[in-house]
Chains A and B, each alone.
Chain A
Amino acid sequence: MKQTKYTLGIDVGGSYIKAVLMKYGESPALISKRVEKIRKRNPSQVSDDIINALLKQEGLSIDDLAYLASTGEGEMVKRKTGHFYSMTTHAKGAIFLVPEGKTVVDLGALYVRAIKINNEGRVLNYKMTGQCASGSGQFIENISRYLGLAIEEVGDISLSATTPELPSGICAVLAETDVINMVSRGITTPDIIKGIHLSVANRSVRLLSSLKPESPAVLTGGMALNKGMVQAMVETIADSKIDIEVIAPEDAIYAGAIGAALWGGYRYEKLQKEASAVIA
């Protein structure tokens, strides 16, 4: 039996697919990672491509994987060994990235999840958005698209706001008309963008606040890469008089995939043990 075990975690999201290759063992390590925007393509095809690309990059083949774990909408990934629920994987991923994390806020394209965890990454309590996408990353994507901004640049632009203007409604789709209205009233782009960020942050912090969160909170998911969003979270948290520190790790967007890879490793070992028990 090989000494190092490779596990691969793939997180199929609403708009991005994230995958990581990890070495699993005493102290698991992240080997390589990849993210790809789905952009109207077939997600299961994109997933396959990403998996292949990751393996190729490290000179591995699918048989070298001890476990291929999916999460998110990853039930469609054909070659997976097993699937884990997003909440479970984000919690595990967050604690891998920030070992002292006590709370996780996953800011994704469609959903926001606020999760309270213990030091093993166990989900103690959570809150999650449901039927309305008003506080989601897609909202920010739509608006930045409308304003002619790339998603990578909105963060910095948002940081330069002086008097942010909140959209009057909450709808992620109709906010476009609000934005049109704001532009026609001469509100600057940074102020509009910041307003949108604050509105998203408001919804997220509302989830968070009912959790009685503990510090520090780890931000995961794609929006954690957005500095403007992180700043908006920090401000909103302060406004709500919640006393917690916010950490946005560099690999935040991979948290789900990392968690999946780790759980995959765990299950693999458990299955091995059970199998050897049967043999014995």
Chain B
Amino acid sequence: MSDKTKNIDQILSFCKEAAFDLQFTEAAKCKAAEENRVLIGYMPIYFPRELVHAMNGLAVGIMGSGDRKQIVKGDAYYQSYICHMPRGLIEMALDGHFDEMDGFLFPSICDVIRNLSGMFQILGKGKFAKYLDYPQDFNRETGGVFYRNELKIIIDHITKINGVKLDKDRLNESIKLQNLNRRMLNEIYDIRQQFPWRLSAVELYHLQRAGIVIPVEQHNNMLHDVLDYIREDVGTPMDKIKVVVSGSFCEQPPIGLIRSIEQAGCYIVDDDFLIGSRWIEGQIDDQSDDPLTALANAYVDMSTFSSSVYDVNNHKGIRLAALAKKRKADGIIFAAPSFCDPALLDRPILQKDCEERDIRYISIKFSENTGQFKVIKEQVGAFSDSIKLWDEPVTV
């Protein structure tokens, strides 16, 4: 095994650990390393981590407990017809997994997360628990101003905890680091689009998810190495179709599901699993005199599409179709968590857009702790069969 391969293996196994570490050991280490450092937990999907970075803190992405935690108390808070993720979050909160966190952010995405912010307030978790109301008005002067003020409230919360004041240069520096992070992630996606076997979807998932719980500098180093590795011709291609997976932006699919999709004959060439880390499509101005406004404007001007964002002037179905085309995908797999209103309400709209453009798709539902993939495998298998067995064989 070459040194390079060894290094990549190490990185990936570190990421696998870190990504699902429900104790957030890496974050705790980071906090302990410096006095005044704060940990701010944020729920899916997107949050500008650079802001917390500039305030001497680490924004820690909290994506649910997956299949790693047995839910007992969490069920006391949620009926059976509500998605699985928030009950995992509550269970973790009650079991002390978040004790190191100084504050919590609940980016607006749906009613469940919104109400969860109130539950954290009642439970008295953290020094603050803020629902971050993203504007649905995409004008800089209206929505942008409102959003900038929301960010300002977060800054004030953090200042109150660690005394750090927002510094223009520091924020610009943080923006630069996060820009680099996004750029490298996107490049990995670009390479995988052509050579999906060079890094499996599961590996990429681990790599990406680790990135939201560790400092950006550390993650940038890893991305750098991984990129270096997959720019070269590694791995062996297989006879599989290429798909884009859409709808799993909040509650995360179990690893077994991602694996089953690839095993049943598909390469995942794009997805919205951890869309937050690629939310801003482009580079945020990192030279600005008012970087807070730059952050706000980036949200208003450069956000990707998602079910949690109002889209009347910019239909997401068309954007999804464009993505599938750009990635040269053979089809789309709509994979949404059960009971997820935003994702499921969008399905008919998105599917219609696909049909109009002759894009083939299938839809499945999961929950983060699903353990049985038989039915899903059969459906995905039939999907890939139906493309493979009839269409011209995929030339590799």
Contacts and interface: CB of A to CB of B under 8 A. Distances in A.
Interface stretch (B49-57, B84-92, B377-385): B377-385
B382 A88 contact: yes
A85 B378 contact: yes
Contacts of A268: none
Nearest to A90: B382
Interface string B65-109: 000000000000000000000000000000000000000000000
Interface stretch (A124-132, A168-176, A221-229, A239-247): A124-132
A88 B389 contact: yes
Interface residues of B, number: 15
Contacts, number: 42
B296 to A, nearest CB: 42
Interface string A248-275: 0000000000000001001000000000
A87 B389 contact: no
A87 B390 contact: no
**At the interface, is chain B mostly helix, strand, loop or mixed?**
helix
Interface residues of A, number: 17
Contacts of A130: 365, 375
B218 interface: no
Contact of A122 (B362, B365, B378, B386): B386
A128 B386 contact: no
A87 B382 CA distance: 6
Contact of A111 (B362, B375, B377, B381): B375
Contacts of B372: 131
A120 interface: yes
Contacts of A120: 390
A84 B375 contact: no
B379 A84 contact: no
Contacts of A199: none
A122 B264 CA distance: 17
B375 A88 contact: no
Interface of A: 84-88, 111, 120, 122-126, 128, 130-131, 263, 266
8 contacts: A85-B381, A87-B382, A88-B385, A123-B383, A126-B382, A128-B378, A130-B365, A130-B375
Interface of B: 264, 362, 365, 372, 375, 377-379, 381-383, 385-386, 389-390
Given A87-B382, A88-B381, A263-B389, 13 more contacts: A85-B378, A86-B378, A87-B385, A88-B385, A88-B389, A123-B383, A123-B385, A123-B386, A125-B362, A128-B375, A128-B379, A130-B365, A130-B375
